[in-house]
Copies of this chain bind each other. A is one copy, B any other.
Amino acid sequence: MKSEETRTHPDRERGHLDREQVLAAATALVKQHGPQALTMRKLAAELGTAVTSIYWHVGNRESLLDALVERTLADLGAIHPTGRAPDRRIVSVARALRRQLRDHPHLVAMVHERGLTERMFLPAQQVLVHEVHAAGLRGTRAADAVRAVQVHVVGHVLVERNRERAPVQRPGEEELWGAQTAEQDPALARALARPVDPEALFTMSVKALVSGLLHTGIGPGT
C-alpha cells in the first residue's frame, strides 16, 4: 500500500471506495503511461486499497477498460463542419475527426486493442451523412461514401500512431531510396527519402478521396 503522499489521489479519504474513484484513478494511469500500464495491482496501490476491492466495483479489467473507452468517447464533443463547398465541408469533418482521435492516443490504442475500432466511427457518422447528402449523393452511394471516409480517417490515424511509436525503421525508406534513383526521377527518390509529414499527407489524401467519391463516375454504389 502506498503512503498518502505518493498517491495520485490523496483526496480519497479512508472512507468508502466507489466506482467513480476507480474510473478516475484508472483514467489518470492510462493518461500518464498508456493502457498497458493499467494493471489491477498498480491501480489498487494508487487507490490505497486491496486489489480485490476493485473487482467488487468494476467486475474485472475487461469491463473497466470498456467503461473508460465509453466515457472518453462520450467526452469527445460534436464535430462542426466548416467551409461552404461540399468537398471542403466533408474534408473539414475528416480533419476534425482525425484531430480528436490524435488528441486521445491512448483511446485509439484501447479501442483498437479491444476490437472496437468500428466504435470510433460513430461520433462522426451523423455529421458525415448530412454532408454527403448535401453534396448530392443518395442511398447506397451516400452510405458507401460515408463509410469510405470513415475507414480512411480511422485507418490513417492507426497507421500514424503506429509510425510515431516506432523508433527507427529497419531497412527504412531513407536508406532504400537514399542514393538510388527511382525511375530516373531524382526528385521522387529524394521525396521518398524524406520523412513523412503526416498532417500534409492526410489532408492531401482525404482531399483526393473525397474528390474521387463526389466527382467521378467510378464513385460509390457502382
* B143 and A151 contact, CB distance less than 8 A: no
- In whole angstroms, what is the CA distance A154 to B116 when docked? 18
Asked if A183 lies at the interface with its beta carbon under 8 angstroms from chain B, I say yes
Number of A positions contacting B (CB below 8 A): 64
Residue in contact with A116 in the complex, picked from B169, B183, B210, CB distance below 8 Å: B169
* B139 and A188 contact, CB distance less than 8 A: yes
| A contact face: mostly helix, strand, loop, or mixed | helix
- In whole angstroms, what is the CA distance A22 to B162 when docked? 28
* B205 and A152 contact, CB distance less than 8 A: yes
Q: Beta-carbon contacts of A157-183 to B below 8 Å, as 1s and 0s?
A: 111001101110111010010000011
| Interfacial residues, chain A to chain B (CB-CB below 8 A) | 112, 115-119, 121-122, 125, 129-130, 133, 138-140, 142-144, 146-148, 151-152, 154-159, 162-163, 165-167, 169-171, 173, 176, 182-183, 185, 187-188, 191-192, 196, 201, 204-205, 207-213, 215-216, 218-222
